Structure 1
Amino acid sequence: MKVLVTGGAGFIGSHIVDLLIQNGIEVCIVDNLITGNVKNINSKAKFYNVDIRDPELINIFKQEMPQYVIHEAAQINVVNSIKNPIEDASINILGTINILECCRRVGVKKVIYPASAAVFGEPKYLPVDENHPLNMISQYGVSKHTVEHYLDVYYRLYGIEYNIFRYSNVYGPRQDSSGEGGVVAIFMDNILKEKQSYIYGDGNQTRDFVYVKDIARANLMAINYTIPNGIYNICNNNQISINELFSIMTNILRKSKLKPIYKKSRDGDIRNSYMIYKKIYDKIGWHPQYDIISGLEDFVKSIQ
C-alpha cells in the first residue's frame, strides 16, 4: 500500500506520515515548504518539494501510483484569506482540483480531506454535529467547504472515494506558535519562556481541543477500515474555557504564578463551540485517546 500525503512536512501532515510509516505503509510527501518544515519530514518517506498547483504534479503521481491521498496541504490563515482571497482560492480550491485530476488520471482509490470547523460559524446548537447548518464567515471557510462539493462530484463522476474530516482545534508538537498558530502552541511558547500571554475577552469562551496524535490515528483508520463516503467530525466532544486551558497549562509546566492579561474581544471570535464524534465512532470505532490533560502532558514530554 502506498499513500501520498500533501502537506506532509506540516504540523498535522507530518504526524500522519509518522504514524503511517510506523504501521508499515509506504509514504510519499508533496510539500512546497512555505509553511512546512524540512525538520518534520520522516526520513523513511520520499519527499517532493512541489506546489500542489504545479502542472507537473501529475508526473509524481504517475511515478508513485498511490492508492490513497491524504490532502493536508492548504492555506489555513483566516486573516490572509480575507486580505488575499484570490491566493486563498488558488491554493485551497484550484490546488485541490489539480490533486483530484491527478487522482483521476492514475486511479487513486480514496482521498481523505481535512475540512474545518470554520464552516459552522457561531453554532446554533451544541454540540455541533455533521448536520449543523453552515455559516462561513471568512473566505477560508468558503474555500474549504467548496472542496467538499468537488470531492462529491469526483466520486459520482469517477468513483474516487472520499472521507471529509472536520477537525476541531488541533494542538500538539510541531505546531507553529507564531501568526495564527493555535492558542495551545502560543500559550506553550509564552509559558515556557515566561513571556506575557494574552486572552481576548473574558476568557470564558469555550473550545473543543483534539490532540494531533488522535487526528493521525483517524486518518490511519480511514485507510485500514471501510468507512462510507461523507463528512465526519474529528474532535474531543468536550468544551474547555480559555481560562481553564491557561490554568491547566501553567500547572503542568509548574509556572502557576504566571497570569494572563485580558484584552478586548476580537470581532468575529466565536463565543462557544464544541463538536461531537458519534458518527465516526459508530462507523469505525474511532474516539480520542487523549483528553486535554493527557494530551498536554504528552505535548510537554515531547519538547522537554
Structure 2
Amino acid sequence: MNILVTGGAGFIGSHIVDDLVQAGHRVHILDNLSTGFKVNVNTGAVFHLGDLLEVGLSAVFEAARPEVVIHHAAQVDVQTSLANPLLDAKINILGTIALLEQCREYGVRKLIYASSAAVYGTPQYLSVDEAHPVKPLSFYGISKHTPEHYIESFASLYDMDYTILRYANVYGIRQDPKGEGGVVAVFVDKLLEGKQPVIYGDGEQTRDFIYVKDIVSANRAALSKGSHGIYNISCNEQTSVNDLLRVMCSICGSSFNPSYGPARTGDIVHSRLDNRAALHALGWSPVFTLKDGLAATFAYYKTQYQVG
C-alpha cells in the first residue's frame, strides 16, 4: 500500500513510519523538520522536505500517489498556541485543509488524523468518552478539533474514508525534551542530567499516559478499521504528575525531590479517556503499562546520554 505520513520525522510519526516500512508498505514522509529530526527518518521511506502550505505539496502527492494519508504534522504545544494563536491556526487548521484538498485531487482512499484529548477541555465526567461535550480550554484544543469537522465534510462530499484518533498524553522514545516535549520527556532529561525536575501546580493533577508504541498499533489498526469514526486512544488510567515522577525516580534510582512552580494557563486538572470504543471498533488495546513504557524510555535515553 502507498502511504503518506505527514510529520513522519517527528516523535510519533517516525515510529508509525518504522512500523509501516517493516510491514512492507511503500511509505513517503512529508516533514519541514521544524520539530522533527532527519535522524528519525527511516531509510526505507521516501523523504520530502516541505510544508503543508507550500506550493510543492501537490508534487509530493504526485510522487507518492498515496492510498492512505496519516496526518501527524502539527503545532502541538499548548503554550505556543496561547502565545501565537495565528501560527497555531495556520499550521493545524489551514495546513489540514490544504492536505485535504490534495487528498480530494488525488483520490486518497482514507485519511487517519491525529487529534487530541485537548478538544474536550475540562472534563464534565471521567472517563471521558467520545460523546463528551467538546469545549477546548486552549487555542491548541480548538485548532485540533476544527480539522475534525473539515475531515468529516470532505469525506461526505468527496467519498473519502477517515478515522480520527484522539490521543491521551503520549510519551516515549524520540520525544524531544528541549522543544515541545511532554512532561515525561522533560523529567527524563532532568533526572539523567542530575537536575531537579519542576512540577507546575501542586502535582496532583492527573493525566492518562500512553506509550508511543501503543499509538503505533492504533494507527496500524486504523488502516483497515474504524471507518468514519472518532476514537480515544488511551490507557483509561489516571496518574498524578507527582506519582509519575515517583515511578520515574524509582526506575532510575533517584530521590523524589521536585520543585514546584505556578500552574500553567490552559492546562486542565484531571484527565482520563475512555478507550472502549477503540477496543470495539479497531480491535485495539494498549499493551504497555506505565512502568514498562517508562522503563523502555529510560533505557533508550541512557544510551543516548552515554554516547553524548
TM-score range, shorter chain: over 0.9
Task: Tell me if the contact between 2:245 and 2:256 (Cα under 8 Å) persists in the aligned partners.
Answer: no
2:6 is aligned with 1:6: yes
Of residues 52-61 and 233-242 in structure 1, the stretch that sits farther from structure 2 once superposed is 52-61
Query: Are the structure 2 counterparts of residues 216 and 242 from structure 1 closer, same or farther at C-alpha, using a change threshold of 3 Å?
Result: same
Aligned counterparts, 1:181-196, within 5 A: 181-196=181-196
Letter paired with 1:245:
L
Deviation per CA, 1:170-214, whole angstroms, max 9, x where unpaired? 000110112442000000000011111111222111110000000
Given that residues 191 and 258 in structure 1 are in contact (C-alpha distance below 8 angstroms), is that contact kept between their aligned partners in structure 2?
A: no
1:267 shift after superposition: 3.5
Offset at residue 61 of structure 1 (A): 0.6
Q: What per-residue deviation string (whole Å, max 9, x for no partner) do you get for residues 109-159 of structure 1? A: 000001111111111100010011111122211111110000001111001
* Counterpart code for 1:15: H
1:215 partnered with 2:215:
yes
Aligned residue for 1:55, secondary structure, equals: coil
The answer on 1:290 being equivalent to 2:285 is no
Cα offsets for 1:86-126 (capped at 9, x unmatched):
22111111111111111111111000001111111111100
Deviates more, 1:182-191 or 1:89-98: 89-98
Tell me the distance in 2 between the aligned counterparts of 1:77 and 1:267.
12
The letter of the residue matching 1:127 is S
Q: TM-score, normalised by structure 1?
A: 0.96
Is 56-65 or 149-158 further displaced after alignment? Answer: 56-65
The residue type equivalent to 1:229 in the other structure is H
Aligned partner of 2:247 in structure 1 is: 248
Amino acid at match of 1:52: L
Pairing 1:55–2:58 present: no
Answer yes or no: is the 8 Å Cα contact 1:199–1:261 preserved in 2.
Answer: yes
Q: Aligned equivalents of 1:142 and 1:216: distance in 2?
A: 24
**One-letter code aligned to 2:164:** I
User: For residues 29 and 120 of structure 2, what CA distance do their matches in structure 1 show?
Assistant: 30
User: 1:41-75: CA deviations, max 9, x gaps?
Assistant: 00111000010111221121122211000010011
C-alpha contact (below 8 Å) 1:115/1:166 kept by paired residues = yes
* 8 A contact 1:55–1:98 mirrored in 2: no
Q: Distance in 1 between matches of 2:250 and 2:82?
A: 37
Contact 1:65–1:106, Cα closer than 8 Å, also in 2: yes
Whole-angstrom distance in 2 between the partners of 1:61 and 1:158:
17
Q: Residues 105-254 of structure 1: matches in 2 within 5 Å? A: 105-223=105-223, 225-254=224-253
Spell out the pairing of 1:62-81 with structure 2 (5 A cutoff): 62-81=62-81
1:37, CA displacement in angstroms? 0.5
* Residues 1:280 and 2:300 are matched in the alignment: no
CA distances 1:7-59 after superposition (whole Å, capped 9, x unpaired)? 00000100000111111111100000011101100011100001011122112
Provide structure 2 residue ranges, at least 5 long, that are not aligned to the other structure: 304-308
One-letter amino acid matched to 2:297: F
Unpaired stretches in structure 1, ≥5 consecutive residues = none
CA distance in 2, matches of 1:165, 1:283: 12
Secondary structure, aligned partner of 1:145: helix
| Deviations 1:262-281 (CA, angstroms, capped at 9, x unpaired) | 22323333111111110011
**Contact 2:8-2:72 within 8 A present in 1 as well:** yes
Count of equivalent residues: 302
RMSD, aligned CA? 1.2
Cα shift readout 1:227-262 (whole Å, capped 9, x = no counterpart)? 22121000010011111110100111111x241112
Cα pair 2:4 2:30 within 8 Å, conserved: yes
CA distance in 2, matches of 1:202, 1:85: 27
- Structure 2 letter corresponding to 1:106: Y
Partner of 2:306: none
Name the CA distance, whole Å, in 2 between partners of 1:215 and 1:187. Answer: 21
TM-score by length of 2: 0.95
Identity of aligned residues (%): 50
Distance in 1 of aligned mates of 2:109 and 2:121: 32
Corresponding residue for 1:16? 16
> Judging changes above 3 Å, is the alpha-carbon distance between structure 1 residues 273 and 213 closer, same or farther for their aligned structure 2 residues?
same
Q: Return closer, same or farther for 1:129/1:17 CA change in 2, 3 Å cut-off.
A: same
